[in-house]
Amino acid sequence: MEYRHLGRTGLKVSPLCLGTMNFGPETTEQDSYRIMDMALERGVNFFDTANVYGRKPGEGVTEQIVGRWLEKNPGNRDKIVLATKVYGKMGDGPNDQKLSAYHIRKACEDSLRRLKTDHIDLYQMHHIDRATPWEEVWQAMEGLVREGKVLYVGSSNFAGWNIAQANTLAAQRHFMGLVSEQSLYNLSARTIELEVIPACQALGLGLIPWSPLGGGLLGGALQKASEGRRASENMQKQIDQHRPQLERYEALCRELGESPADVALAWLLHQPAVTAPIIGPRTVEQLEGALGALDIKLTDEILNKLDEIWPGPGGQAPEAYAW
* C-alpha span between 136 and 262 (Å, rounded): 42
Active site annotation includes 53: yes
Phi and psi angles of residue 4, each rounded to the nearest 5 degrees, phi first: -125, 150
Residue of 139, 144, 96, 87 whose CA lies nearest to 118: 144
Among residues 3, 33, 53, 87, the one annotated as catalytic is: 53
**Cβ(107)–Cβ(96) below 8 Å:** no
Q: What is the largest CA-CA distance in the chain?
A: 57
Alpha carbon 139 to chain centroid, angstroms: 25
* C-alpha span between 214 and 261 (Å, rounded): 10
DSSP assignment of 140-204, as one string? HHHHHHHTTSEEEEEEES--HHHHHHHHHHHHHTT---EEEEEEE-BTTB-GGGTTHHHHHHHHT
Residues with catalytic annotation? 53
